[in-house]
Amino acid sequence: MTDKVAIVTGASSGIGEATARQLHGAGYIVYAAARRTERMAGLAGAGIRTLAMDLTVEEQMTSGIERALAEAGRVDILVNSAGYGSFGSLEEVPLSEARHQFEVNVFAPARLVQLVLPAMRAQRSGRIINISSIGGKIYEPLGDWYHATKFALEGLSDSLRAELRPFGIDVVVIEPGAIRSEWGGIAAANLAERSAAGPYAPQAAAMAKVLGVYERRPGLLSGPEAVARVIVAAAGARRPKTRYVVGRGARATLFGRWALSDRGFDRALEVFYRLPR
């Protein structure tokens, strides 16, 4: 058991929900944050404290962190799990959507880090766990903005890790592969909305077909609980790794990216997605 305090964003479903449950089971005082509070009734029933937090609303982020500090007196773990995938061609995705993607996937995690750092520095300890993706190391056509946010989160995390080391604060990056969650459905819907009928329609159709296979055969995906187990291990490790890769096919994909040239990986994507040339 532990009296440490953890805040988990994106806790209404998927990786965030599984992480909140497993941290609670490991004895942490857990604050589960999400925009859709009605979907966290089960977490509240299990004894997990819930926060209404829309990551595009400054007042909700600020008040959520302030409440946790006022009630618990400290924050030991921040898990930035919230995020989504916006797919579609660069030409067709409005910049307003691109900005929103960065707001949720990059700027909101950075703001939450800003809000917890004074307490972590004062206690000379803390751990920030940013949920990135293997999408922060690889790329896909029609995924321009999503991959840009994950590449950005990786770079931000690396710089932050070096920056916070003198204060006893660790920064950990989790890189999931294909995980069973709402992410795929949201990405597919965005893809259809932006690029299913325009000049990029053949690419969109090819990629939607692959996403459809995953939807129809969820056994091809790892469950969010697998990622949550890694997050809990990283939260409790005396000296955590800087990165954890988790999920079916994740390591093989990253090895392929490392082993292949850029043109070689381009070709691998064409074969995997059966993209038109």
Q: Is the pLDDT of residue 150 over 60?
A: yes
Would you call 91 helix, strand, or coil by DSSP? Answer: coil
| Element (DSSP H or E) covering residue 5 | strand 5-9
Concerning whether 31 is annotated as a catalytic residue, the answer is no
Q: Is the pLDDT of residue 125 over 60?
A: yes
Cα 162 to Cα 44, 118, 168, 175, 193, distances in angstroms:
36, 17, 11, 19, 40
Q: Which of 146, 200, 244, 273 is catalytic?
A: 146
pLDDT tens column, 45-100: 999 999 999 999 999 999 999 999 999 999 999 999 999 888 899 999 999 999 99
Q: Is the pLDDT of residue 188 over 80?
A: no
Domains (range + CATH), the chain: 5-181+222-259 (3.40.50.720)
Confidence tier at 211 by pLDDT (50, 70, 90): confident
Identify the weakest region by mean pLDDT among 147-156, 192-201, 263-272. Answer: 192-201
User: How far is it, in rounded angstroms, from Cα 276 to Cα 201?
Assistant: 10
Name, in order, each residue with C-beta under 8 angstroms of 32's C-beta and a sequence gap of 6 or more: 8, 11, 16, 17, 20, 40, 43, 48, 49, 50, 51
Please report the pLDDT score of residue 72 as a whole number: 97
Per the model's pLDDT, the better-predicted residue between 154 and 248 turns out to be 154
Number of Cβ within 10 Å of residue 225's Cβ equals 15
